[in-house]
Each structure stands twice: as structure tokens, then as C-alpha cells.
Structure 1
Amino acid sequence: MADRLTMPQTAMPAAGVRTPSADIYAPQWRNFMFVAPFLFFFTTLLVFPLLWGMWLSFHKADTFSSGNFIGLGNYVRLFHDKVFLQSVWNTFYFVLLTVPTLALLGLFLALCLNRRTRTAAVLRTLFFSSSVLSVTIVTLIWRIVFIPNVGLLSTIYGWFGATAPAFISDPSLAMIGIAIATIWWCIGLPMMLFLSALQQIPQDIYEAAALDNASRWQTLRSITLPSIKRTFILVVIIQIVLQFQLFGQAWLMTRGGPNNLTKPIVLYIYDTAFRRWDLGLGAAASEILFILILIAAMAQYLVTRSRGDQT
């Protein structure tokens, strides 16, 4: 009995109180295992090639060796290369043709098709269906449309006794023809993004505007456009990043011609690195393309954001 009284008593937890686990303050390194697969592929397929490309751009490299370190020599060669400078202009010209058109036309289609009717649903499907096609199918369709004399466009013009524009062979129209094919191909994504944003706007706001006898233009300017401002910025940035990477349409429709007037930067990189095997020069061109995309996207974001803050 005395031994039982002298035994140390341990404090019993109160009812309903959970005691902390012994390793609650242990390092949570095991959480890393959940993101390890993603980090592996992200590092292998994105970070490592980016760093390797930067390293190659400072070397005289070919397929078989990294060559000697030449510093900024590849970049100096690029800015003395008229074909590269022409490809930079071609890319900017293509972006100016496609990005504003895709943003504004996508918004227009979304406003027109933001209705719960069967006709609107069918039209949304039709406009989005082109987005699932491959670039090969898209260029094949538009080559059939643009082909001189026997193409669909020439046939339609022939009905009226006119001559169709030579969108593939005319130097002043070739890039416009590629832009038309690209807009037809890519219009589905901006339209769906704008439709998603429009459907998130509360209907109570529109009902209140209707009670105040607001016109459609006033409703669009004061309610709809401010509500989808962030989506508009997102669409523009996405399209800038995508259209700067023009390659398949230019390669399959015109091969960069005539006279390199439709050769974009990515096609120049392909010709330089994988046809002429000058990997150092191609890597330098790819780094310049990366910087141009980054500057264009950030400038668009900052300008649009500053305008939004002022309003």
C-alpha cells in the first residue's frame, strides 16, 4: 500500500484535450515528396534547358562540341545579321496583326454569344472547334483557300470577275495571310476566356442598371468592361507569349518567303541551330526572343495596370 502511494503520479490529460504528437515540431521534409515529381520535370524540361541555352549563347558551339568561350560574340553577329533583324521585325509585325485582333474579336464574339440559347451554344462550338486542330491541318486548309487561280478565294473572286489577292506569294500580303490563318485558328481561347468572365458578373448589377434606364452602351462601358478588365489583360499577355513563338504557320505556308519577309525569330533559330548547326548563334537568338517576350508581356501588364489604378 505504501509503495502504491509513493509511485510518481503522471498527469492525465483533461477530457476532450488532444495531446500533441511527439514529432509535431520535426522538420517537414516529407512534404517535399508531394511536389518532387513536378519539380523534377520542371527543372529537367525548363530550368536546365534555359540555363544551358544561356551557357551555349556565350560559346562557339556546334553539334559535336561546345567550342570556345567567345563572350558576346554571338550577340554581335546577330545584330549585324540582316536576316535576323528582318525576322525580329517580322515577328513584331505579326504580333501587331494578331494580338489586338484576337483580343477585340474574341471579346466581340463573347458578347454576342453570351446567351443561353441553342443557337449561341452551336456557334460557340463552331468558333472553338478550330482551336483543337493541329497547325498542319490549319495551314493545309488555308493553303487550299489562298492557292492562286484554283483556290477557294480565287474561285469566289472569279464569280465577280475579279482577281484574288496573292496572300502566299505577294511580299506585302504574305504575313497578313499567315495572320488570317492564325486568327481563325486561335480565336477560340480568347472567346472562351471572355465568356467565362462575362458569366461571373452578377446579374443583379444589370437589373439595377435596367431600372435606371441605362443604355446598352452605358452598361457595356460602366459595368461589363470594368468587370472583365483582368481577363482582358490575361488574354493579351497569353496571346503575346503565344504569337511571339510563330513557327509552324510560317514554315508550312511560305517557308519564310518571299525574300525572308515572313521568317519569324523561331524559324531563324531553327535554320541557324538545326540546319546550319550553329548552336551558339541559335542559342543567342533564342535568348533574345525570351527577353523580347518578357519585356512585351511585362510592359503590357504594367501599362494596363497603371491605367486601371488611375481610373
Structure 2
Amino acid sequence: MTTVQTVETTRARSAGRGAPDRDRRRRVGNQTPPLTALGFLAPFLILYILFIIGPALYGLLMSFFNTSLVKPGLGTFAGLDNYAEAFGSREFWQSMWHTIYFALLTTPPLVILGLVFAWLAERATRGKAFFRVAFFTPYVLPSAVMALIWVWLYAPIIGLLTKFVTLIGLTAPGWLSDPHWAMPSLALATVWWTLGFNFVLYLAGLGEISRELYEAASIDGASPLQQLRLITLPLLARTTTLVAVLQFIASLKVFDQMFIMTQGGPNYATRSVLQYIYDSGFTDMRTGYAAAASTLFFIVVLIASAVWLVITRRQNEES
């Protein structure tokens, strides 16, 4: 009997000593070798370097030269002359202000309406799938299709908005031909077009909030608006920060709808900084100067991203 116990004890100790070794070998065996992982990443890395990193570095290099589309090579070295010219250019800063103005017109309504419609769709007892599809469908439209729809809506005589304003006894403005109305008109079209993206982000954020919190608040007698103010908005603070910054950066990069609907007019009232860069590089053929203006614009977008990182870090520290 003693011998049997001794053998069993020895086997148990051996098994105990072997278990960590087997676990360690299993973990090592499950790890993907570095060369294998690099092989899977290689196609993406090659394309990313060729079409993103490479052109960006070459554009930065061009910004220090008088590069032109009509002359081969980089051209003559210009140093910081292109940057100095961009800093002193009234047209550059005017287009930068148009871009910021457009971002200020579109970001608040896109954030607020995205939250409101997502909250209403989440609380709907019927037709949730319909509301989600209805709000997100405009976002999948190509920019040219969206622009064509709103050009028809803004048409001076036959446009639907023009007829509606006339029907209620008002004089329809020149939606896209009046310098004072052109930018708000573009902002309205953009809000309709891109609202679905923020709507989906807020739906995802609302889905992460526990239903038990709302049930407890209802038992305590809280109204839906009180639940929105005391539960939904505080718990969606990070989502709101993300949506606001992403939307502001996206609005800064506006180009398609302005270029298609107004071509930067009237009287350059809607020319964004990206269209200014496009005109400098492909109309005036000054690609070196356009690269310098692009670098300055990149710095502005980088500052906006840095602000988001600072706000997010503070939110993480507070939580």
C-alpha cells in the first residue's frame, strides 16, 4: 500500500512540474512567428508606403522647391519662400477662413442632430430598422449624386426649396449665387448628407448603456428628458468628443460638394483651402507652392487632432 502511494505521489509531482512546461510550450507554439506576421502585413505596408507615406514625403520635399507641372524634376531650390508666400497670401487665408467657417456651420448641427435622432430612434417601439436605414442612406450616396440633388433643390425657378419659400409668401434668395447664402446652403446640404455617420456612432454609444439604469430611473420617477440629461449625456461624453472632433476634421477637408455645386463661387465666397491648393497646383501649375500650402493645412488638422487627444486623456484621467 505504501509503495502504491509513493508511486502515485511521484506521478503527481511529475505532472505538477510538467504542467508549466506544457503551458509554456503551448503559448510559444501559438505565437505567430515575426516573419509570418510580416508576410501578412507586407501587401498593406507596401501599398501604404507607395501611395500614402511616399507621396506625403515627396510633397514635403517639393514644398522647398519651385516645382512646376510644366517642367521636369523638382526645379530650383526655394527654401522657405513658398511658405512665406503662403503666409502672406490673402487668398490663402481667405480660403482657410471659408473652410473654418464651413466647419463651424456644420459641426454643431451634425453633432446635436445625430445625438437627438439616435436617441429618438433608440426609444422607438416600432420601426427601429426603418429609422436606422432612413437616416444612414444619404451617407452612402456619392458626392456627385448628392450635389446634383441639392442643385436641383436650389434651382432658382423650379427648385423645390425655391417654390416652398415662394409659397409661404417670401422671396427666395439666390441659394448658390448669393455670397451670403452660398455657404449656409452648402452647409445644409452637407448636414443632410453626412448626418447618418454620426447617427450610427451615437447608436453604438447608446447600445453600450445598461438598460438597468433607465429602469431604475423610471422607478424613481425620472422623466425621459431627465434620463437624457442625467444618464445619457454624461455616459455619452466620450462618444460626443469623438464625434465632434472627427466631424470638425472632416469638415475642414471639404472639397467635393463645394467644387461641384459652386466651383468656389460666387466671387470665391465658397472656395475652401483644398480647392485653393488644387487651383495653385493644377491650374497655376505651381505644385511646389501648392505642396507648401498643403503642409500648412496639414498642421492645422494636426492641431485639431492634438486637441482631441488632450481632451480624451483628461476624460480618461477623470474617469
Q: Same fold (TM over 0.5)?
A: yes
Native 8 Å contact 2:65 2:78 kept in 1:
yes
Deviates more, 1:102-111 or 1:34-43: 34-43
How many Å apart are 1:309 and its aligned residue?
A: 5.0
Once the two structures are superposed, the pairs formed by residues 1-311 of structure 1 within 5 Å of their partners are 18=22, 28-63=34-69, 64-115=72-123, 117-303=125-311, 305-306=313-314
Aligned residue for 1:277, secondary structure, equals coil
Aligned residue for 1:271, secondary structure, equals helix
Paired with 2:103 and 2:25, the residues of 1 have a C-alpha distance of 59
When residues 256 and 159 of structure 1 are mapped into structure 2, their CA distance, relative to the original with a 3 A threshold, is same
What CA deviation, in whole Å up to 9, does each residue of 1:205-231 have, x standing for no partner? 111222222233332222111222221
Aligned residue for 2:123, secondary structure, equals coil
When residues 20 and 252 of structure 1 are mapped into structure 2, their CA distance, relative to the original with a 3 A threshold, is closer
Native 8 Å contact 1:83 1:260 kept in 2:
no
Deviates more, 1:178-187 or 1:78-87: 78-87
How many Å apart are 1:177 and its aligned residue?
A: 0.6
Aligned residues: 297
How many Å apart are 1:149 and its aligned residue?
A: 2.3
Native 8 Å contact 2:242 2:308 kept in 1:
no
Aligned-partner residue type, residue 279 of structure 2: D
How many Å apart are 1:301 and its aligned residue?
A: 4.2
TM-score, normalising length: structure 1 = 0.88
Paired with 1:272 and 1:225, the residues of 2 have a C-alpha distance of 44
What CA deviation, in whole Å up to 9, does each residue of 1:148-200 have, x standing for no partner? 12211121122233211222011111111111111110000000110111011
Gaps of at least 5 residues in structure 2 are 1-13
How many Å apart are 1:143 and its aligned residue?
A: 0.7
Native 8 Å contact 2:238 2:312 kept in 1:
no
Question: Which 4+ runs in 1 deviate beyond 6 A?
Answer: 14-17
How many Å apart are 1:38 and its aligned residue?
A: 1.7
Match in the other structure for 1:6: none
Paired with 2:25 and 2:233, the residues of 1 have a C-alpha distance of 52
Paired with 1:147 and 1:139, the residues of 2 have a C-alpha distance of 12
How many Å apart are 1:305 and its aligned residue?
A: 5.0
How many Å apart are 1:308 and its aligned residue?
A: 7.2
When residues 36 and 127 of structure 1 are mapped into structure 2, their CA distance, relative to the original with a 3 A threshold, is same
Paired with 2:49 and 2:312, the residues of 1 have a C-alpha distance of 32
Identical aligned residues as a percent: 40
Paired with 1:132 and 1:66, the residues of 2 have a C-alpha distance of 39
- The structure in which a higher percent of residues are helix is 2
